[in-house]
A and B are shown apart, each in its own frame.
Chain A
Amino acid sequence: MALDSKIPQGPIADKWTNYKNHIDLVNPANKRNIDVIVVGTGLAGGSAAATLAELGYNVKAFCFQDSPRRAHSIAAQGGINAAKNYQGDGDSTYRLFYDTVKGGDYRSREANVYRLAEVSANIIDQCVAQGVPFAREYGGLLDNRSFGGVLVSRTFYAAGQTGQQLLLGAYSAMNRQIGRGKIKMYNRHEMLDVVKVDGKARGIITRNLINGEIERHSAHAVVLGTGGYGNVFFLSTNAMGSNVTAAWKAHKRGAYFANPCYTQIHPTCIPVSGDHQSKLTLMSESLRNDGRIWVPKNMDDVKAIREGRLKPTEIAEDNRDYYLERRYPAFGNLVPRDVASRAAKERCDAGYGVNATGEAVYLDFASAIQRYGKEQAHIKGLNENDAALIKSLGQEVVKTKYGNLFQMYEKIVDQDPYNTPMMIYPAVHYTMGGVWVDYNLMTTVPGLYCIGEANFSDHGANRLGASALMQGLADGYFVLPYTIGDYLSDDIRTGPISTDTKEFEEAEKEVKEKIKFFITNEGKHSVDYFHKRLGKIMWNKVGMSRNVKGLTEAIAEIKALREQFWKEVSVPGSSDELNEELAKAGRVADFLELGELFAKDALNREESCGGHFREDSVELDGEQKGEALRNDKDFAYVSAWEYKGEPSDAVLHKEELEFNDIELKQRSYK
């Protein structure tokens, strides 16, 4: 099947408006006869469910957690971008569009990104109307901060809990519709398959996680807002339950999976402390507004620190290497995430890591505390030379900006970041790849939509900070509600979809057989045993730095691990009760397939772009020596993989990317 991205004709700035003017609509009376399933209740799924219900469709929403409010969007910290230009610092729709395409290393679809930038301002208006308490200035207007990879302040925030506040906004919009009976909410339900009837997505199979019941649910269209697949690495900043299963089942039913190798390794996370580690904790990128990243210049100091003979605060300024400021003077500590992560790895690989494992760098707030302290002393007319006073005033300012993050750090590491620099190291955080969708956010299966992090569309090979929240809400509040209507306008005479058909029966049977296998298999290893081993392969060979040898080995190792899993996995308990091990087994089975496709995609893409860094594709000389080298001639395409059984049999389809409004350039942050 040839890929058709269905990008509307016309100049980029007019595409979305023209599109909306010409789509088919469904009248309000007919909407009452149309059902839509939404899986996932994060920013994308939650906002879509609420908006579709407001429009009049009958929505069934599903989440595996005990409440829609628990979706992992809740953990997003730093903020949400919007081209409001409230600061008057030169921001515009075009500039947000440009920054996002450039930040994504020219591997995203121009028309989608422009639309995202275009609706971004509306998101802020909508959220404020819902009562989302964004940070404000003393004049009562909204405050902004800066994020990596851009030269303007366009990020709206609510302390370090922006995701929480936005998700609770979407959750409140959902609650209003649940109260009206327009959304039927299914908590603690996990989607285990998509059901197709006559080639169209017409329903899903779910498992009730409390009593184990397998249920059939039908609808005229199915929307997946099920998040990313970072947990294929076992250790990531994702929630424990975050998984690829919904997206992967869609893939197996005919939805192409795009750019699986594009993964964001976030530069500022708390380093791993031991083998017991179950997840990694992010320290928001917003900290790079005020924190300076460094390692010691001298190896003697590194040794002394590791042995506990020296404290970081005792190292003189001249003996510190602020390597981001040194290498990238224009953007300094605010380079994009992929660049910052690789730079940290480069220093640690060279032996300058500052913790026991050698995998940590410092993020230091001492300068910011001084700067803010002096500013406050000046405003309040206090003594600007009183060091203790300056420090305490400065700490107060830092506390109001990042208090919850500092507290989180202290609880985990048992060190006080107000008085000693934080230790950080990169960790898997976000997946730019995902289910392939066209301009309508529809997958290659008619009637099956995919929104938010679960799709591949807007961030190219690297996502800029504060853009995930923007995309999730844009898709759910402002894009999907239009595009799905155009599709559903053909369904006004269809009537209810029966679940009493052979398609539903077959899908249900397959699901039940797999569950029975897990429960009856007398294996000798727990699910986590396999998940941890998969994670190690992924991190070591398909992680921050990739090469042909490692990728080839990874593909073979994952395949072997998968075979072992199906022989030796052990799942305790029964299938008709709350059984977390059983739920995990199904998720890890899918990760074991995705992992191999991920490595295969990374092997295919013989260039470095964004989060995908190939050691055989770097600049060899000149000012950019050692930096990632893209290959636009051969690789300016989206890799969309078609399922054919084993991941090794997956067939590659290319969506060539056309750049009409932005010139392809090397990304320079120097």
Chain B
Amino acid sequence: MNLTLKIWRQKNANDKGKMVDYKISDVSPDMSFLEMLDVLNEQLINSGDEPVAFDHDCREGICGMCSLYINGEAHGPDRGVTTCQLHMRMFKDGDTIYIEPFRAKAFPVIKDLVVDRSAFDRIQHAGGFISVNTSGNTIDANAIPVNKEDADEAFSAATCIGCGACVASCKNSSAMLFVGAKVSQFALLPQGKVEATDRVLNMVKQMDDEGFGNCTNTGACEVECPKGISLENIARMNREYLTASLKG
């Protein structure tokens, strides 16, 4: 395949940035999207130009490091995958592909397609944990049976990879799906109930402080989430938040 790429280039956080056109040929449909960018970068290096910076690591859809807004969609046109799992067979010969960073006030651009998502970490510091020390004296793992449906649902919420596609897809740049997933994981398990009140209040406060927007229920986040995290998690977080606020 021969393709035209329109890629966001921005030298650093202070640079204004612009879209730049590139041509790439002989792209195999079996390549992953990032392998296609590897080939482009090899071309750029060999011709003395600077390669395009983008985040990536595991390249199997689990670390959450890769991002990219491709043709107006977080992680590109395929569903249920991250950019590293997106394959070029989703595109046609002659296509023009727009490649931009995840955009949100809380995710400033570092360089080209690389953004700073440390706001997500700070939300987790505020309450994304159960306060238990590593003593080796915790009770036996089977001492508290957990209803299988709850355990499975907690697991589904916990599969969030923290990539930020939800924020990038939301017109308000809301992080409710990300925060809702973590709050839900613990709210569904008996171990998490002890600190439930503080957790949801602290995490939501940090989320607001970071400059993420509000949720207006458009549901774009759920559609673009590569892990299929459900909107149900936002509803659950809202219930938890309401209960906690009444208590607090």
Contacts and interface: CB of A to CB of B under 8 A. Distances in A.
A138 B134 contact: no
Nearest to B12: A577
B231 interface: no
A411 B132 contact: no
A414 B30 CA distance: 9
B189 interface: yes
Interface string A196-217: 0000000000000010000000
Given A67-B120, A179-B125, A572-B48, A172 B133 contact: no
A133 B189 contact: yes
Interface stretch (B37-45, B97-105, B168-176, B237-245): B37-45
Interface stretch (A28-36, A46-54, A437-445): A46-54
Contacts of A407: 80
Contacts of A51: 134
A253 interface: no
B63 A74 contact: yes
Given A65-B65, A75-B60, A411-B85, A179 B126 contact: yes
A178 interface: yes
A478 B158 CA distance: 25
B197 interface: no
A239 B51 contact: no
B200 to A, nearest CB: 14
Given A66-B117, A133-B151, A75 B140 contact: no
B124 A171 contact: yes
Size class of A's contact patch? 35 or more
Interface string B117-157: 11011001111111111101011111011111001101100
A139 B81 CA distance: 33
B44 to A, nearest CB: 8
A84 B141 contact: yes
B57 interface: yes
A664 interface: no
A165 B157 CA distance: 11
Nearest to B64: A70
A70 B57 contact: yes
A239 B114 contact: no
Interface in A147-187: 158-159, 161, 164-165, 168, 171-173, 175-176, 178-179, 185, 187
Given A74-B62, A75-B63, A278-B59, A133 B110 contact: no
B148 A136 contact: yes
A535 interface: no
B213 interface: no
Nearest to A136: B151
Given A129-B139, A133-B151, A278-B34, A66 B65 contact: yes
A140 B51 CA distance: 52
A276 B124 CA distance: 37
Nearest to A473: B134
Interface stretch (A98-106, A117-125, A595-603, A654-662): A117-125
Given A125-B140, A274-B28, A70 B63 contact: yes
B130 A72 contact: no
A67 B49 CA distance: 29
Given A74-B63, A172-B128, A240-B56, A119 B189 contact: no
A617 interface: no
B246 interface: no
A86 interface: yes
B208 interface: no
Nearest to A477: B134
B185 A133 contact: yes
B61 A408 contact: yes
Given A131-B186, A172-B130, A278-B34, A74 B58 contact: yes
Interface in A42-97: 47, 50-51, 54, 65-72, 74-75, 84, 86
Given A72-B63, A175-B129, A274-B28, A140 B146 contact: yes
A126 interface: yes
Contacts of A568: none
A256 to B, nearest CB: 29
B31 interface: yes
B46 interface: yes
B134 A54 contact: yes
A122 B140 CA distance: 8
Given A51-B134, A173-B134, A278-B32, 9 more contacts: A68-B121, A70-B65, A126-B134, A130-B191, A136-B145, A237-B60, A240-B56, A277-B35, A578-B114
16 contacts: A47-B134, A67-B162, A124-B141, A126-B134, A126-B138, A135-B155, A140-B145, A140-B147, A175-B128, A240-B59, A241-B57, A276-B31, A279-B59, A577-B11, A577-B12, A578-B114
Per CB-CB distance, the 8 closest pairs between chain A and chain B, nearest first, are: A140-B145, A172-B129, A133-B155, A179-B125, A128-B141, A129-B138, A133-B154, A176-B129
